[in-house]
Structure 1
Amino acid sequence: MKSNWFKQAVGYQIYPKSFRDTNGDGIGDINGIIEKLPYLKDLGIDFIWINPIYKSPQFDGGYDISDYYALDEARFGTMADLQNLISRAHSLEMKIIMDLVVNHTSDQHPWFIESRKSKDNPYRDYYHWQPATPDHLPNNWVSFFGGSTWTIDEPTGEAYFHVFAKEQPDLNWHNPKVREEIYAMVRWWLEQGIDGFRLDAISHIEKAPWDFKIKSFKDNDPWEPFMNVAGIEAYMQEFKKIFDAYDALTVGEASGVSSKKAPDWTDDQGYIDMIFELEHSVKDDTGKADLKRFKEAIIRWQEDMLARGWNAPYLENHDQPRVIDVLGDGTDASAKALAVAYMLLRGTPFIYQGQEIGMTNFDYTDISQVDATDTIYLYHEKVAAGLSKAAALKAATVNSRDHSRTPMQWDATENAGFTDGQPWLAINPNYREKNIAVSQADPDSILNLYKFLIQLRHENQAISEGGIKFLCPDHPTVLAYERDEFLIVTNLSAEPTTVIFEVPLQEYTDVISQAELPTLTDLQLEGWAYRIYKKNKKTA
């Protein structure tokens, strides 16, 4: 029987390049993670998700893997270092999960190098190849990075398929040899002692027939032919057998899996333990989020997965700008309200490095400060379309992934305590005021609120595994819900507001102040206010 320890757990995501550099090359490394394990233990997290550290040309931040069995030793460290990290984390009762990237490889992977040599190469069918000319591509599908999903390879006169960049060709999951190779690799990594995987882009591994025509290029329609396409269930069942055999923790990045379908993926008979939904990430071209749509997505996913299935709530990750500037107004108060709003939801919450101190977006002044490939592409597209360099830079970087990838701000020393060398990506100038050391010393910091919320989850089964009922769901700024005997109310706006509940509330104790409250029918909330109440025993 697979254990469900993860339901009481809190995860912490590390982007290794930006976490902590110990050898002075300006790039974070495995030993940097080891060095900061005591910090993570003190924070209270239960497991760490590490973004890719495999051998890679780093065209897409390590999500372009050129050897599934090798680490990028020059950047991150050796297998011995990784074994040391696993051992040290386990000794502190923390688990380690790594990214599993099997929708595609790097174009520098030996399989693809062989595949493109000739049409009759044994590895040709490891990827998707189709006859094509510049004027007659196999279909009109578009990639996530813009442009066609097909790139013509001149030597063989055919095109290969990629849902991301052309440097990331998609694997052909119809080929049983591909699946055998992938499953053997998965078992090998689990044998190394890691505790599970975050499954990158897993819902894209099956494709629609090539003659599927995209009818609309709005919203998610362009990506319909490779988002949770029928037939993927067989592959996921094969994965499940391996995951269950090792009691591996599994978190799926599964765009295209709706809140109605997610229980089938994540209940006791599902393929994986939990799922990241992407629907609450509702930014516009100004970099700001639509709070109404954010609330609607959160509520729908929580309600649709209440009877069965499991959520993985999050606010930030390596692909999103900083939430303090997207949903918040840049203030610590907004970061705190957002922390309370999501950390006490039903599911296993994830904290992204730096989120716990309110790290902010970067103010870009030149395209040379940008590393993210898609942002650079967009910048040049804007310039080619006639925008000035300044306007193109602003438009391209407003929602750039690099906002969340600036180095971790540990203290007020040079380079924020991240490195003794030249950091690979510019450090946010506000690091002298906003860093871990300052936050640890301030009892009223965002960091210490996160520690409190993590402890609250650990100590109360009602929060870790209890039910959830949303109150006043139509209120424009308030997210309020009951978790059995707990009541959580947050005002996700700088403007004061009043929330009126449908029925008089029982007598509650304020969990933070420990003050008992009178019977309430409404609450006056200042901007970015949050309340955590618990029913008194006599009324519970």
Structure 2
Amino acid sequence: MEKHWWQEAVVYQVYPRSFQDTNDDGIGDLQGVLQHLDYIKRLGADVIWLNPIYSSPNDDNGYDIADYRKIMTDFGTMNDFNHLLEEAHKKGLKIMMDLVVNHTSDEHHWFMESRKNKTNKFRDYYFWRDPKDGKEPNNWKSNFSGPAWNYDAKTGQYYMHLFSKKQPDLNWDNSIVREEVYDLMKFWLDKGVDGFRMDVINLISKKPGLPDDPNVAKSEVEDAMEWVANGPKVHDYLKEMNKKVLSKYNVITVGETPSATPDDAIKYTGFNRHELEMVFQFEHMGLDWSKNGLGKWSTNKVALTDLKKVMSRWQTELNGKAWNSLYWNNHDQPRIVSRFGNDSKKYRVLSAKMLGLLLHFMQGTPYIYQGEEIGMTNVHFDNIHEYKDLETLNAYKEIVEDKKKVSPSEMMEYIHHSSRDNARTPMQWNDGKNAGFSEGNPWIKVNPAYPEINVASALEDTNSIYYFYQKMNELRHKYDVIVYGNYELLDPDDEKVFAYKRNLRNESILVIANFTDQEVSRTYQPYNDFDCKLVLDNYDDDQKLILRPYEAKVYYYER
């Protein structure tokens, strides 16, 4: 395996709208990110991934882009960005931008021109189609509820939107569109940004003829994702992107690839493929989805044996062929300590550390989402109107109001468990007004847990989750076996403990994580055959064969 800097790096994700507000308008900004560079550096991160900061009408919180070369006024100016980039680089931190090029905003110049008439030169930048039998051109569903088509009365045609109707899909089959994308990528790379996270990049190639999706009949709320993902020309387009742009810069790239399998991931990121460096896969994030046709909306608990199976498959099948990304949280996922852990006062810290340890010692580049390092939890707003996320609001309307599939109270439980807004409440800096996020009125309410869960208290407590993550990052930078070692699952049928080994030449680590609130006894072969050194434990002492509630530990040994 050829080694690259991004394999040894740790990425810290910043959702700028909710990170730090410096001008008291209730919205986080670039100056707020600048203010906390030392905090991120102290944690041991190497790269900051910024969610979209481009000019946008904010229908989908910046993922509907109106101008790729301008900064959203909510966040500041291009001078603010240039200053942030310069200061980050001075501190040895790299900046990764969010590249959103499957779709634009309907307020982008390209789309506003394209909808003027059928002969406009921008018309073919998007998917415009005639009605079929007086209805949508096909049966594709939007990922944000409803059809994936919106009728435009002016020209009598529909345009495709796999997400919001204000997010029309770009037509990547048009070579001019691809060149436009490559040009805007060069604009940012020439500024000195260090890479891209690519939003739903495996959706950019649509099936020729846009045929009906045979999966839609399975469920009234089925989206188009499986049918439109990994299209016939996606690898041609990514190879072209790599050849014309990415290969000319020493950057990190990670593609968001819903519905991708390990085989798909190897095609996108294989060491000899010349496309992307890694992908975000969603198989482990779908384990708690509804079995009743409601998609992500559920309160299901994940069986540990299922989690082991999925995580281990990605570890072993990509080993030596491609590179994994490691994540529990991001701006689209609920808080992991509430989802896979135990967010009670008694066990929140222990289970948050356990989950972090389990993930960070696997093979791949770890991603930490803002607030994960202090154990931020899901939020339980009482009223649907307190939620801001478009996906959440659309789902409530469709499932509760339109189709009456579940009661309002049941749907609110699902939202408490699964809404994207769980990740988007303001960063909890201290126990002061609005958790120290803003002196103004925050764009979304602060999680009421902030008096107990905040950065200030974490930094004062040497036993906090923050310092535990810091220690994990230090160990990653110290031991090659953590970065490059192969993976070996132990006891796949154990329903309480997740244990695995990593091996590199004569070095090994043993990782053990108790997923329960019970004390259990386990023994593993290295205890008996090697001189094992405990390098990390979320308890103060090591009781060897006894695992206390949510205990997690790592042993290092040489063979």
TM-score of Structure 1 vs Structure 2, range by shorter chain: over 0.9
Q: Determine whether 1:293 maps to 2:306.
A: yes
Task: After TM superposition, give the deviation of residue 492 of structure 1 in Å.
Answer: 1.7
In structure 2, what residue type is equivalent to 1:312? Answer: S
Structure 2 CA distance for aligned equivalents of residues 221 and 31 of structure 1: 38
Secondary structure at 1:23's aligned position in 2?
coil
In structure 2, what residue type is equivalent to 1:136? Answer: K
Q: Which moved more, 1:60-69 or 1:213-222?
A: 213-222
Structure 2 CA distance for aligned equivalents of residues 483 and 291 of structure 1: 20
- The answer to whether the 8 Å contact 2:15/2:424 transfers is yes
Task: After TM superposition, give the deviation of residue 37 of structure 1 in Å.
Answer: 0.4
Instruction: Report matched runs for 1:139-218 at 5 Å.
Output: 139-210=138-209, 212-217=211-216, 218=218
Structure 2 CA distance for aligned equivalents of residues 320 and 128 of structure 1: 29
Residue deviations 1:483-536 (CA, integer Å, cap 9, x gap): 222111111222333334468542312114799999x8xx3322211121111x
In structure 2, what residue type is equivalent to 1:127? Answer: Y
Structure 2 CA distance for aligned equivalents of residues 342 and 512 of structure 1: 14
Q: Which moved more, 1:495-504 or 1:454-463?
A: 495-504
Secondary structure at 1:99's aligned position in 2?
strand
Q: Which moved more, 1:27-36 or 1:394-403?
A: 394-403
Task: After TM superposition, give the deviation of residue 136 of structure 1 in Å.
Answer: 3.1
Q: Which residue of 1 aligns with 2:375?
A: 358
Task: After TM superposition, give the deviation of residue 240 of structure 1 in Å.
Answer: 1.0
Q: Determine whether 1:283 maps to 2:288.
A: yes
Identity %: 40
Secondary structure at 2:418's aligned position in 1?
coil
2:325 to 286, 305, 312: 312
Structure 1 CA distance for aligned equivalents of residues 336 and 133 of structure 2: 41
- The answer to whether the 8 Å contact 1:416/1:427 transfers is yes
* Residues matched between the structures, number: 533
1:474 to 476, 488, 493: 493
2:401 to 341, 359, 383: 383
Structure 2 CA distance for aligned equivalents of residues 393 and 473 of structure 1: 35
Q: Which residue of 2 aligns with 1:76?
A: 75
Q: Which residue of 2 aligns with 1:224?
A: 226
Structure 2 CA distance for aligned equivalents of residues 389 and 50 of structure 1: 35
- The answer to whether the 8 Å contact 2:339/2:417 transfers is no
2:514 to 483, 486, 491: 491
Q: Which residue of 1 aligns with 2:295?
A: none
Structure 2 CA distance for aligned equivalents of residues 224 and 355 of structure 1: 29
Task: After TM superposition, give the deviation of residue 398 of structure 1 in Å.
Answer: 3.1
Q: Which residue of 2 aligns with 1:30?
A: 30
Structure 2 CA distance for aligned equivalents of residues 482 and 392 of structure 1: 40
In structure 2, what residue type is equivalent to 1:50? Answer: L
Task: After TM superposition, give the deviation of residue 150 of structure 1 in Å.
Answer: 1.3
Q: Which moved more, 1:145-154 or 1:32-41?
A: 145-154
TM-score under structure 2 normalisation?
A: 0.91
Structure 2 CA distance for aligned equivalents of residues 244 and 261 of structure 1: 21
In structure 2, what residue type is equivalent to 1:80? Answer: N
- The answer to whether the 8 Å contact 2:303/2:495 transfers is no
Residue deviations 1:139-171 (CA, integer Å, cap 9, x gap): 111121122111111111111111111110000
Runs of 5+ in structure 2 lacking a partner?
Answer: 290-297
Structure 2 CA distance for aligned equivalents of residues 132 and 62 of structure 1: 30
2:236 to 227, 234, 237: 234
- Structure 1 residues 120 and 165 mapped into 2: Cα distance closer, same or farther (>3 Å)? same
In structure 2, what residue type is equivalent to 1:351? Answer: I
Residue deviations 1:39-87 (CA, integer Å, cap 9, x gap): 11111100000000100010001000001111102x0011111111111
Structure 2 CA distance for aligned equivalents of residues 477 and 315 of structure 1: 19
Task: After TM superposition, give the deviation of residue 222 of structure 1 in Å.
Answer: 4.2
Q: Determine whether 1:274 maps to 2:278.
A: yes
Instruction: Report matched runs for 1:317-466 at 5 Å.
Output: 317-330=330-343, 331-381=348-398, 382-386=400-404, 389-466=408-485
Runs of 5+ in structure 1 lacking a partner?
Answer: none
Task: After TM superposition, give the deviation of residue 306 of structure 1 in Å.
Answer: 0.7
Structure 1 CA distance for aligned equivalents of residues 104 and 213 of structure 2: 25
Structure 1 CA distance for aligned equivalents of residues 311 and 540 of structure 2: 30
Task: After TM superposition, give the deviation of residue 209 of structure 1 in Å.
Answer: 2.5
Residue deviations 1:340-382 (CA, integer Å, cap 9, x gap): 0001110000000000111011111112211101111122221
Residue deviations 1:79-129 (CA, integer Å, cap 9, x gap): 111111111111110100010000000011111111111111111100001
- The answer to whether the 8 Å contact 2:106/2:112 transfers is yes
Structure 2 CA distance for aligned equivalents of residues 517 and 383 of structure 1: 53
Task: After TM superposition, give the deviation of residue 137 of structure 1 in Å.
Answer: 2.2
Secondary structure at 1:197's aligned position in 2?
strand
Task: After TM superposition, give the deviation of residue 466 of structure 1 in Å.
Answer: 1.9
- The answer to whether the 8 Å contact 1:288/1:325 transfers is no
Secondary structure at 2:197's aligned position in 1?
strand
Structure 1 CA distance for aligned equivalents of residues 332 and 494 of structure 2: 29
Residue deviations 1:437-493 (CA, integer Å, cap 9, x gap): 111111111111101100000111111122222211221132211122211111122
Q: Which moved more, 1:3-12 or 1:491-500?
A: 491-500
- The answer to whether the 8 Å contact 2:430/2:451 transfers is yes
Structure 1 CA distance for aligned equivalents of residues 16 and 7 of structure 2: 25
Q: Which residue of 1 aligns with 2:247?
A: 244
Secondary structure at 1:349's aligned position in 2?
strand
- Structure 1 residues 430 and 309 mapped into 2: Cα distance closer, same or farther (>3 Å)? same
- Measured on the aligned residues, the alpha-carbon RMSD in Å equals 2.2
Q: Which residue of 1 aligns with 2:293?
A: none
Q: Determine whether 1:532 maps to 2:554.
A: yes
Structure 1 CA distance for aligned equivalents of residues 189 and 3 of structure 2: 16
Structure 2 CA distance for aligned equivalents of residues 502 and 135 of structure 1: 67
Structure 2 CA distance for aligned equivalents of residues 373 and 183 of structure 1: 29
- Structure 1 residues 170 and 221 mapped into 2: Cα distance closer, same or farther (>3 Å)? closer
Structure 1 CA distance for aligned equivalents of residues 320 and 407 of structure 2: 52
Structure 1 CA distance for aligned equivalents of residues 541 and 425 of structure 2: 43
Structure 2 CA distance for aligned equivalents of residues 290 and 377 of structure 1: 29
Structure 2 CA distance for aligned equivalents of residues 111 and 54 of structure 1: 16
- Structure 1 residues 512 and 532 mapped into 2: Cα distance closer, same or farther (>3 Å)? same
Q: Which moved more, 1:125-134 or 1:245-254?
A: 125-134
In structure 1, what residue type is equivalent to 2:547? Answer: L
